[in-house]
Structure 1
Amino acid sequence: MVMRKLMYVLLFLFLVLAGCGDKEKEQGGDMPQVVEVQFNTDPKDIKSNETVKLMATVVQGKEKVTDADKVEFEIWKEGENENQHTKQKAKHEKNGIYAISYTFKEPGTYYVISHTTARRSHTMPQNKIQVK
């Protein structure tokens, strides 16, 4: 009789512990695809004192990301201190394209970081552009 009760208790504990297994491992635990950002300008050839459109196209796999939490451009001229960097939030236009209008005041080499937070991921690709 004692042995039978012990078997029932052990069986019950086994079933309880088996129910606590890691569901992600059972389902494969696939990681979501990485959020990627492609930077472009319009026009391609940038001249000082002319307005240019800076664009970040945000994708995850083949899907255009239209629900990014934040896309912000950080812009500075080569040789400037960090406190001289300009930051400007971009707005979603269409098809995963986030953009701002910007005017570069003088010719030179500039850097643009597209700070992007979307779908629990943050990426910040840096691009170098030439202003004539």
Structure 2
Amino acid sequence: MNIKRLIVLSLLVLLLAACSSNDKEAEKKHTDHSNESDELTALEVEVDIPERVEVGETVELKAIVTYGEEDVTDAEEMNFEYWKKGDKDNSETVETTNNGDGSYTVEVTFEEEGVYEMFAHTTAKGQHNMPQASITVGDAEE
């Protein structure tokens, strides 16, 4: 009977040792995976517009899109949505031209004095970013 107990005890120790090594391997994989999330790359959009323009002046709205250190030349969406401050329900959306160097541009003429708010809607690399900017037209006060 002592031999049976010794065999059972040996098998139990062997089984526990095997489970223990699997836990360490799983923990290592989990740690490796969590370190990857610290290195996620964000889609960045820099809006380049003048602060103030005259009524009736044609102005270039420009967005520079990057993903990490890489220029994004293949954005799925890049447009500007703009509206007179306080009147977002009457916004206008204009498509940009892809310049092939990570920059996207469109020319717009503001016919009325005022402060205009805008979003630079950008979708690329599975992410969406929409930084907000504003431009003052004429002698309007912000």
- Which range, TM-score by smaller chain? 0.7 to 0.9
Higher fraction of strand: 1
Distance in structure 2 (CA, Å) of the matches to 1:44 and 1:129: 5
Say which of 12, 22, 31 aligns to 1:16.
22
TM superposition shift of 1:91: 3.8
Amino acid at match of 1:67: D
Report the TM-score when normalising by structure 2: 0.71
Matched, 1:32 2:27: no
CA distance in 1, matches of 2:133, 2:109: 17
- Distance in 2 separating the partners of 1:77 and 1:26: 49
CA deviation profile, 1:18-70 (whole Å, cap 9, x unmatched): 333353623633322433222124x8863434443211101234332223332
Structure 2 gap segments, 5+ residues each: 1-6
After TM superposition, the score normalised by the length of structure 1 is: 0.75
Match among 46, 56, 59 for residue 52 of structure 1: 59
- Of all paired residues, the percent bearing the same amino acid is 32
- Give the Cα–Cα distance (whole angstroms) in 2 for the partners of residues 95 and 122 of structure 1: 19
Task: Report the Cα distance in structure 2 between the residues aligned to 1:96 and 1:4, rounded to whole angstroms.
Answer: 65
Task: Pick from 112, 117, 121 the counterpart of residue 111 of structure 1.
Answer: 117
Instruction: Tell me the C-alpha RMSD between the 2 structures.
Output: 2.7
Structure 1 SS opposite 2:53: coil
Distance in 2, Cα, partners of 1:90 & 1:72 = 5
Superposition deviation, residue 6 in structure 1: 1.1
Corresponding residue number in structure 2 for 1:67: 74
Distance in 2, matches of 1:22 and 1:74, equals 46
Does structure 1 conserve the Cα–Cα contact (< 8 Å) formed by 2:79 and 2:122?
yes
In 1, Cα distance between equivalents of 2:125 and 2:28: 23
